Amino acid sequence: MHEPSVPHLHAEDPELAGLVEDEARRQYEKLRLIASENYVSPAVLEAAGTVLTNKYSEGYAGRRYYEGQQFVDPIETLAADRAKELFGVEHANVQPYSGSPANLAVYMAFLEPGDPVMGLSLPMGGHLTHGWSVSATGKWFRPVRYEVRADTGRVDLDQVRDLALKERPKLIWCGGTAIPRTIDFPAFAEIAREAGAVLAADIAHIAGLIAGGAHPSPVGHADVITTTTHKTLRGPRGAMIMSTAEHAKAVDKAVFPGLQGGPHNHTTAAIAVALKEASQPGFAVYARQVVANAKALAAALLDRGYDLTSGGTDNHLILIDLTNKGIGGKPAAQALDRAGIELNYNAVPFDPRKPFDPSGLRVGTAAITTRGLGEERMPQVAAWMDEVVQAASKQDESVVERVAGQIRELLASYPMPGWTSAP
């Protein structure tokens, strides 16, 4: 059952409590490989469920538009100070509601409508808010898109430079949602400098790896850094914007009053807890294990003939192109989910298929590493994935059911933060 327990919810709203318990069990029984998800600690869950949700706090510590901020002010200051210390930045704004609002605040801080913005194309691993056409950022600004190289699957830095010098974007994004390789922040910084652009690093996926020393940091290279707090960083759903002192005022003004109203104080508190956890020595061990697991899983998938974008991974994320397996990403992801392996279908670079039925699968190791699985388990994970993908092509549900049972059995030995088997 859910841990901490939710007795008042059971009494007040058994229907909703039942759904929460079902979700907790689902998370306990599944091999959760969605690259942007994790398990937060019970302490983070507790902080997110406090009376802080009752309070309005528009403004910033010491400069609020509502009274009664005696405790919210130090909570927000604690969260911001912890972010500054953990990442080594001069300024941190912990109020953005999530990643997309955080990124929108960067536009608000540095651009005027119609200005050119450059980002990695969405199907190549970028993010909607880096100027993709269906996003406000692609409609209200003039997008310039760079890609990965067809031969290496890695960001084409020559193209980034050529485009930047030709199109003169005011803002360049590096980072994204499906990038299996190290981001070369110094190279992006040099290009941005040459082009006279602001460099924004979106580290949502790799923030925990950076905090734990398992990926280079953009600090000292990027002008502004955005991140969600709930992926490898293992905090609540939320976001932060970090910058040099020079940009602090512009960033803060863009978040409030530019885009948002009152910050979600219960989330801010949970972010503070997560940042404290991420500053402990054990978190660096965790971050390195996330990467070691991803490398081991990638190696095992390659052994089984899977085609991986860029040929492997440097971080927590693997992008599989299923074209040579004769099945689309969507039916494969659905069969894997039925088999207890939760991931998402994903476009691969130069994907000939449509975004809603693309060729690939995206896999991440942040959550299973939190459960305690190590490299020695990755060949088995790859074997299960392979069995299910093959079974899905033949519509063989018996394999799917057997694998789901085997996974439940395995995971029973790996405790889940947020779940207790005790009655």
The strand pairing partners of 239, in sequence order, are 228
Please report how close the Cβ of residue 117 comes to ligand DSN at its closest, in angstroms: 17
Task: Spot the catalytic one: 56, 64, 142, 182.
Answer: 56
What are the E-state strand segments in 312-365? 317-321, 341-342, 344-346, 360-364
Please report how close the Cβ of residue 249 comes to ligand DSN at its closest, in angstroms: 27
User: CB burial class (10 A; 0-12, 13-18, 19+) of residue 253?
Assistant: middle
- Contact by Cβ (8 Å): 411, 371: yes
Q: Does 229 interact with ligand DSN (rule: CB under 6 A)?
A: no
23 assigned to active site: no
Q: Does 235 interact with ligand DSN (rule: CB under 6 A)?
A: no
244 assigned to active site: no
Identify which of residues 75 and 104 has a Cβ nearer to ligand DSN in the complex: 104
What track of x and - describes contact with ligand DSN for positions 94 through 133 (by CB under 6 A)?
A: -----x---------------------------x------
| C-beta nearest to ligand DSN: residue | 36
Q: 99-138 b/e with 16+ CB inside 10 Å = b?
A: bbbbbbbbbbbbbeeeebbbbbbbbbbbbbbbbbeebebb
CA atoms of 2 and 99, how far apart (whole Å): 27
Identify which of residues 69 and 267 has a Cβ nearer to ligand DSN in the complex: 267
Give the closest residue to 147 by CA, choosing from 129, 169, 168, 162.
162
How many residues bind ligand DSN, per CB under 6 A?
A: 4
Q: Which helix (H) or strand (E) holds 119?
A: strand 116-120
Residue type, 35: A
Report the SS3 class of residue 359: coil
Please report how close the Cβ of residue 28 comes to ligand DSN at its closest, in angstroms: 21
Report the SS3 class of residue 241: strand
202 assigned to active site: yes
Please report how close the Cβ of residue 208 comes to ligand DSN at its closest, in angstroms: 14
**Window 41 to 100, contacts with ligand DSN (CB under 6 A):** 99
Task: Spot the catalytic one: 3, 25, 58, 73.
Answer: 58
Identify which of residues 38 and 310 has a Cβ nearer to ligand DSN in the complex: 38
Please report how close the Cβ of residue 36 comes to ligand DSN at its closest, in angstroms: 3
Task: Spot the catalytic one: 142, 149, 237, 353.
Answer: 237
32 assigned to active site: no
Please report how close the Cβ of residue 279 comes to ligand DSN at its closest, in angstroms: 24
Identify which of residues 177 and 369 has a Cβ nearer to ligand DSN in the complex: 177
Contact pick of 38, 69, 137, 177 for ligand DSN (by CB under 6 A): 177
Q: Does 36 interact with ligand DSN (rule: CB under 6 A)?
A: yes
**How far, in Å, are 20, 58, 90, 204, 415 from residue 41 at the CA level?**
17, 28, 27, 19, 12
182 assigned to active site: no
Q: Does 365 interact with ligand DSN (rule: CB under 6 A)?
A: no
CA atoms of 39 and 168, how far apart (whole Å): 41
Task: Spot the catalytic one: 202, 252, 307, 351.
Answer: 202
Q: Which helix (H) or strand (E) holds 44?
A: helix 42-48
231 assigned to active site: yes
Please report how close the Cβ of residue 37 comes to ligand DSN at its closest, in angstroms: 8
Q: Does 360 interact with ligand DSN (rule: CB under 6 A)?
A: no
Report the SS3 class of residue 360: strand
Helix pair angle (72-87, 265-278), 10° resolution: 30
Task: Spot the catalytic one: 227, 228, 267, 313.
Answer: 228
Sheet containing 317-321: give its strands across: 307-308, 317-321, 360-364, 344-346
Task: Provide the annotated active-site residues.
Answer: 56, 58, 202, 228, 231, 237
Sites of contact with ligand DSN (CB under 6 A):
36, 99, 127, 177
